[in-house]
Amino acid sequence: MTTTRPIALILLAALAGLAPAGEAAADGKRHRGEGRCHAHLLKKWDADKDGTLSDAEKQAARDHHRARRLARWDADQDGTLSDAEKQAARDHHRAKALATWDADQDGTLSDAEKQARRAHLKERCAKKKARADG
C-alpha cells in the first residue's frame, strides 16, 4: 500500500458502520477482503514478495495501523483506546463520511448514497491497483 491513511479511514468507517465489507461472491455472501485493494497492500506489506501476506506480515501491518490509531485517537496517552476515544473516532469518521456522501443531508446514507460511495472506492482501488502494477 502506498499510504496507510485510506486503510485507517476504512477501518474506522467500518466501526461506524459505513464501509462495505467486500463485494458479494458467487454464492451471494460477502467474504472478508473480497473487492478490496489488495495489490497496493501486497506492495507495501509483502516483505518476502511471494504474493501473499504471511501471518508475520499481517501482524506487522496490524501493529503499524494500531500505532497510527493510538497516535491519533489516544487522548490520554495510556496506550489503549477507551470506549470514549473509540466513540470519538467513530463520530469523527461518521461525520466526515456523511459530509461527503449524504447528498440529501438527512443524516443517514441511503442505498443510492452507499452505492455512490462504493463506486468511488472501487474506482480508487482500481487506480491504486494500476499504480501498483505499473
| Domain coordinates in residue numbering, the chain | 5-133
List, for residues 8-57, the tens digit of each pLDDT value. 555 444 444 443 434 444 444 444 444 456 777 888 889 998 988 899 99
Residue-level pLDDT at 35? 43
* Terminal C-alpha separation, the chain: 13
The closest of 56, 74, 75 to 66, measured between CA atoms, is 74
pTM exceeds 0.85 for this model: no
Q: Where are the alpha helices (DSSP H) in the chain?
A: 5-15, 38-45, 55-73, 83-101, 111-133
Q: Which residues pair with 24 in a beta bridge?
A: 30
Cα–Cα dist 38/78, whole Å: 33
Chain position carrying cell 458502520: 17
